[in-house]
Chains A and B, each alone.
Chain A
């Protein structure tokens, strides 16, 4: 069924290295998204009309534009329009962070809004200062709500980064194609084994993370 090509030479290791390329880009993007997304989310939860207007447009763009379209715009468009040459890797990090920041900020805003006003009021009534109320009462609760959701963002990011092969980055799918091509004569059925293996690899990368996120969500449910 074409699994034998994986055992030839260093093929399996090459596939794993390909996966590592995609994972690296997703982890960098997730890190950027979580930091900047949290800041933006806090800014968004302030009631300022101008900020609200701008962020709404931003969120709507992210909501309706496929990530692949954004990837094309940055990778092909920026070079053409602005004359700057952005590497495929940098384009991916820019696009996935652009997307991830929007997602994260929306989660943060939702978590902040979800804290009932009585929590603030009780904190103040107990004699805590507004800063203390935030540090000891609000932020711990917000973090509890956010952690499962941000972990979930990691799996979504990993799934989305599979798109980078479409702008020519040599990652796991591309390596898979190369292996299939190279062994065309000796194993004509390699496509089945190789693509099934990649399928399983992605599942192994994402499933434990999404289980963990679900576990935390249930455990901390209030």
Chain B
């Protein structure tokens, strides 16, 4: 391995790293918002909307991100909707993640035992209070492992952004391999940067999971 090559590639990777991080976390933020909204709508069986969001969850959970991105980036402009590659990445990841987060939070909501709701009502809490102070916090706690798994999954999924010519880590690696054929160096840096991106998340995730587990009620 050539250290000179490594150091000359490094700035390119750092730039790509921050772009990947930016799009990844914005997409994850969007997916969380979308997921919570959609989980509430489906959980409370709001007419019409729950059918729409139910279909959304099924559609995006059962198709690959790569295909979704191709449709959003290459297909939609032909129907008059043109978005920049970055925006496509954020929206694509957000839509995909939203469907996964929705399932995670919804199963948390379903898992909160009815005794919790009944006890809270018996204590004289209002229905909205029961949900915001009792059911939702517990559901979120129950969903933590699934949410952590989703965040890691979504950060990994950012690797397909190169397909819509976003200059992310994958794109940089592929480009450099094509240009200079220093395959080993390009791949080593690629692995290193993904480790820098995901190891802390994986570590923090397991700590959060343990903390959330310790905060369980009624066990």
Which residue numbers of A lie inside 8 Å of B, CB to CB?
1-2, 60, 63-69, 72-73, 76-77, 79-81, 155, 159-160, 162-163, 165-166, 173, 176, 180, 188-196, 198-199, 202-203, 206-207, 210
Any chain A CB within 8 A of the CB of B6?
A: no
User: B85 to nearest A CB, angstroms?
Assistant: 15
Asked if B29 CB lies within 8 Å of chain A CBs, one says: no
Do the beta carbons of B156 and A66 come within 8 Å of each other? yes
In the complex, which residue of chain A has the Cβ closest to the Cβ of B202?
Answer: A64
Chain B residue with the shortest CB-CB distance to A159? B64
Interface string of B187-219 (1 = CB under 8 A from A): 100110011001100100000000000000000
Cα–Cα, bound, A84→B188 (Å): 19
Instruction: Tell which of B37-45, B74-82, B117-125, B130-138 binds the partner.
Output: B74-82
A72 to chain B, nearest CB (A): 6
Contacts of B67 in A (CB 8 A): 162, 173, 195, 198-199, 202
- Cα(A159)–Cα(B68), bound, Å: 11
B199 contacts which chain A residues (CB < 8 A)?
64
Interface residue SS majority, chain B:
helix
The answer, among A63, A65, A192, A207, for a CB contact under 8 Å with B191, is: A65
Report the interface size class on chain B. 35 or more
Roughly how many angstroms separate A135 CA and B5 CA in the complex, as a whole number? 58
Q: Closest 7 interchain pairs by CB?
A: A66-B159, A192-B78, A64-B198, A195-B75, A162-B64, A80-B183, A206-B62
Q: By the criterion CB–CB under 8 Å, are A192 and B79 in contact?
A: yes
Chain A residues with Cβ below 8 Å from B58 are 207
> Which of B61, B66, B190 is A173 in contact with, Cβ under 8 Å?
B66
Contact B190 A69 (CB under 8 A): yes
* B59 close to A (CB within 8 Å): yes
Given contacts A64-B198, A189-B78, A195-B67, contact A77 B187 (CB under 8 A): yes
Chain B residue with the shortest CB-CB distance to A204: B62
Which residues of chain A are within 8 angstroms of B177 by Cβ–Cβ distance? 76
Cβ of B146 under 8 Å from chain A? no
Judging by beta carbons under 8 Å apart, are B174 and A195 in contact? no
Query: Is A60 within 8 A of B184, CB to CB?
Result: no
Q: Is B157 an interface residue (CB 8 A)?
A: yes
Known contacts A163-B66, A173-B67, A191-B74: A73-B79 contact under CB 8 Å? no
CA distance A196 to B73 in the complex (A): 12
Tell me if B173 is interfacial: C-beta within 8 Å of chain A.
yes
- Whether, in the assembled complex, B160 has its beta carbon less than 8 Å from a beta carbon of chain A, the answer is yes
Contact A68 B159 (CB under 8 A): yes
Instruction: List the A residue with the shortest CB-CB distance to B66.
Output: A162
Assuming A67-B159, A202-B63, A202-B64, what are 18 further A-B pairs, CB within 8 angstroms? A64-B199, A64-B202, A65-B156, A67-B156, A68-B159, A69-B190, A77-B183, A77-B187, A79-B183, A159-B63, A159-B64, A192-B78, A195-B71, A198-B70, A199-B68, A202-B67, A203-B59, A207-B62
Bound complex: CA A63 to CA B63 (Å): 21
Contact across chains for A73 and B61 when beta carbons are under 8 A apart: no
Q: Which residue of B lies closest to A160 (CB)?
A: B64
